[in-house]
Amino acid sequence: MIQYHRRNLDAGTYLTNPDGSPTTFKGAVMGVDNGAMLSPRYRDGVILEPSTAQRLAARAGGFPVYKDDATALAREQYLHNVMEADSKAFMKLKKRK
């Protein structure tokens, strides 16, 4: 997930929010047969519906499945904090250029 986020930052393929901050990842936690999957809803400049995001993530592979929704949501919050710090540092560097 962090690599997905950083690729969007590096490539400039993020969505610019009204406050100027970048969105590189929007998560969707969806139940799957063996737990809960955290899928990226932001893709190619578009915010996807959760079901579409899950289908694409399952097809692409490489996205983890957690034991339950609570575990997936806790991981999503942790990732959000890391991505937010990354984004702030990125925007700070971008302003210097």
**In-domain check, residue 71:** yes
**In-domain check, residue 22:** yes
pLDDT of residue 33: 85
Quote the number of domains for the chain.
Answer: 1
Give dist(CA 94, CA 88) in Å, integer.
Answer: 10
**Sign of the dihedral through C-alpha 78, 71, 42, 2:** positive
- Which two three-digit tokens encode residue 49? 């519906």
User: Angle at CA 27, nearest 5°, toward 24 and 33?
Assistant: 145
**In-domain check, residue 10:** yes
**pLDDT at 65 > cutoff 80:** yes
pLDDT of residue 48: 92
**In-domain check, residue 89:** no
Name the more confident of 1 and 80: 80
Range of the domain at 69: 2-83
